[in-house]
Structure 1
Amino acid sequence: MKMDEFTDAQVQDFFDNHYVDRGMKKWQGFFLSDHTSALKQKQTEDNEILVREAKKQMAIKNISETINQAIVKNKYVRIQLNEKDTNGIFSKEIEGKILGNHEDQIYVGDNGFIRTELIRHIEIMK
């Protein structure tokens, strides 16, 4: 049958009773791998934020000792700052090698200077 041989009633009957629309399924093929990987990355980051917990508040003396050990042994450290966002979640931990210090600040890798008074917890990484 040619297209012009269908009546309006036959076309309407086809769409009303026989055609099954796949809805959003037909559009899922348009998601590119870049989009899906970006969505997965965002989900991973969101999950990481939700499970971020407060580490034990260290005394200034213990923080200073850990900093000195890391410098002497040339080790990487993981630092949790005593800063929270508006949702009350601690900021992401800072990891890196202590490359120097100046007065009450330490210079950690690419993160720049960090004031020691802002450090909540510091540990030497293995």
Structure 2
Amino acid sequence: MNEQQFDQRLVDQFFKYDYHDRGMMKWQGFYLSDHTVAIAKQEKQTKHVVKVKPQQTVIEIKKNLVRAFEKQQSVIIQLNELDQELRPLEIQTTIKQLDDEIVELDLGSEISIDAIRNVSQFNVV
């Protein structure tokens, strides 16, 4: 091992006047590859629509979700959420898990049943 002596004053001067730590800025560009894949997949499945579908009752929403879950069918879920242009969002997905209040989608994301406006079967053309 090298037994060289260092000048503590020189080190202190470097950190006081020359070195500028950017803090969290240096970490802002790092994303995990599976995170970027999940974001791209979710953006592909989320699309903007113009037509507002009728508000279904909670019972109708749950019935449609249970049917789709049991048959592993794709559904289109229209949310009560609007984008900047005041259009409702729709998600085409399959149901991974379901309980009384939360729906887990195939991407692993969750939606509250209260946030759903309409659930309809996805028809492949």
Same fold (TM over 0.5): yes
Identity %: 25
Write the mapping of 1:38-49 to structure 2, written as runs, cut at 5 A: 49=48
Task: Give the match for residue 66 of structure 1.
Answer: 64
CA distance in 2 between counterparts of 1:81 and 1:125 reads 15
Deviations along 1:8-29, one digit per CA (max 9) or x if unpaired, are: xxxxxxxxxxxxxxxxxxxxxx
Matched residue count = 77
Unaligned runs of 5+ in 1: 1-47
Confirm or deny that 1:56 pairs with 2:54.
yes
AA aligned opposite 1:89: R
Deviation for aligned residue 1:111: 6.0
AA aligned opposite 1:83: E
Change in Cα spacing, 1:62 to 1:102, as seen in structure 2 (3 Å) is closer
AA aligned opposite 2:53: K
AA aligned opposite 1:112: S
TM-score (ref. length: structure 2): 0.55
Deviation for aligned residue 1:52: 1.4
**Corresponding residue to 1:115 among 92, 98, 112:** 112
- 1 or 2, which has the higher strand percentage? 2
CA distance in 2 between counterparts of 1:53 and 1:85 reads 13
Change in Cα spacing, 1:61 to 1:102, as seen in structure 2 (3 Å) is closer
Matched position secondary structure for 1:52: coil
Contact 1:94 1:111 in 2 (8 A): no
CA distance in 2 between counterparts of 1:75 and 1:116 reads 18
Confirm or deny that 1:90 pairs with 2:88.
yes
Structure number with greater Rg is: 1
Unaligned runs of 5+ in 2: 1-46
Contact 2:95 2:104 in 1 (8 A): yes
Confirm or deny that 1:80 pairs with 2:63.
no
Deviations along 1:51-98, one digit per CA (max 9) or x if unpaired, are: 61211110111001001100111111100000113432212x101110
Contact 2:66 2:98 in 1 (8 A): no
- 1 or 2, which has the higher helix percentage? 1
Task: Give the match for residue 26 of structure 1.
Answer: none
